[in-house]
């Protein structure tokens, strides 16, 4: 069963515009959410996270929004830059379970066009 879903396999935006990547989850026990970025031939790189006690977290051009009632989170990148072109993974964890293991979505490939 896919507990974390990224329903858009790809997204293309123009440089300078906003990129919005979406993620849905099904497990109510998840209380910590992360976004990772992955370039080809590299491991995933941590981008930003959010705890379930918050509904927004911002770090520079990156903002993550969490809607617990809808079990939905999104990553906003403003303004988008060509260097942001990569695969973005949403991940969730149940910190209360104390394992820390991450459950990943399938990924969304973002292409930012100059």
Partner 1 sequence: DTGVSQNPRHKITKRGQNVTFRCDPISEHNRLYWYRQTLGQGPEFLTYFQNEAQLEKSRLLSDRFSAERPKGSFSTLEIQRTEQGDSAMYLCASSFAAGVLGEQYFGPGTRLTVT
Question: What is the nearest approach in angstroms of partner 1 to the Cβ of residue 57?
Answer: 12
Q: How far is CA 38 from the centre of its chain?
A: 11
- Other beta carbons less than 10 A from residue 61's beta carbon: 14
Residue 87 has phi, psi (to 5 degrees) of: -95, 130
Nearer Cβ to partner 1 (70/101): 101
Question: What is the nearest approach in angstroms of partner 1 to the Cβ of residue 96?
Answer: 9
Q: List the x/- string, 24-63, binding to partner 1 by CB under 8 A.
A: --------x-x-x----xxxxxx--x--------------
Kind and range of the H or E element at 113?
strand 108-113
Question: What is the nearest approach in angstroms of partner 1 to the Cβ of residue 3?
Answer: 11
State yes or no: residue 11 binds partner 1 (CB under 8 A).
Answer: no
Within 60-99, the residues that bind partner 1 by CB under 8 A are 89, 91, 93, 95, 98-99
State yes or no: residue 23 binds partner 1 (CB under 8 A).
Answer: no
Q: Which residues of 77-93 are buried (b: 16+ CB within 10 A; e: fewer)?
A: beebeeebbbbbbbbbb
CA distance 85 to 9: 13
Residues of the shown chain interacting with partner 1 in the complex, contacts defined by CB under 8 A: 4, 6, 32, 34, 36, 41-46, 49, 89, 91, 93, 95, 98-107
């Amino acid at each position: 069963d896919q507990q974390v879903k990224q329903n858009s396999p790809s997204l293309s935006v123009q440089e300078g515009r906003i990129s919005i990547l979406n993620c849905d989850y099904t497990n109510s026990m998840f209380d910590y959410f992360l976004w990772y970025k992955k370039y080809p031939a590299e491991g995933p790189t941590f981008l930003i996270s959010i705890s379930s006690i918050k509904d927004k977290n911002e770090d520079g051009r990156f903002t993550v929004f969490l809607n617990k009632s809808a079990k939905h989170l999104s990553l906003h990148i403003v303004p988008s830059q060509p260097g942001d072109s990569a695969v973005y993974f949403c991940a969730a964890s149940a910190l209360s379970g104390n394992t820390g293991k991450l459950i990943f979505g399938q990924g969304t490939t973002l292409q930012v066009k100059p």
